[in-house]
Structure 1
Amino acid sequence: MKEKQPGKKPDKNAADREDRLKAALKANLARRKAQQRGREPDNSASPSEDKD
């Protein structure tokens, strides 16, 4: 296992990585929501079945 070395400052890359992951997650979620909206049928425009 890796041991922490005394005197070593926390790495800025960890914060940058977290910011990149947050942005990627947000973009992925938005993309998935848009995909789901595209898959759902639009029932308000015109009904596809006739009711008799």
Structure 2
Amino acid sequence: MNTEKQSNPSPENTGAKRQKTGAELREERQKQALKANMARRKAQAKARMGQSNDKIEGQ
């Protein structure tokens, strides 16, 4: 009897690169777009807070 475990190394486990599917590429693009959008919104909110503070101090 052979008691050694046979394993099929998958590309995920071996570090080998595999071609991404269309759905994976689309999800990756969406993640990048969401991250950029959140950064832009954060910058806008920060700018608005600065403007509102300037108005309060200027009164």
Q: Same fold (TM over 0.5)?
A: yes
TM-score, normalised via structure 1 length: 0.58
| Structure having greater relative contact order (Cα 8 Å, sep ≥ 6) | 2
- The one-letter code sitting in structure 1 at the alignment partner of 2:28 is D
| Greater helix fraction, Structure 1 or Structure 2 | 2
Query: Any gaps of 5 or more consecutive residues in structure 1?
Result: 1-10
Query: Any gaps of 5 or more consecutive residues in structure 2?
Result: 1-19
Measured on the aligned residues, the alpha-carbon RMSD in Å equals 1.9
> Post-superposition, which runs of at least 4 consecutive aligned residues in structure 1 deviate over 4 A?
none
Point out the structure with max Rg over C-alpha: 2
Percent of pairs with identical residues: 50
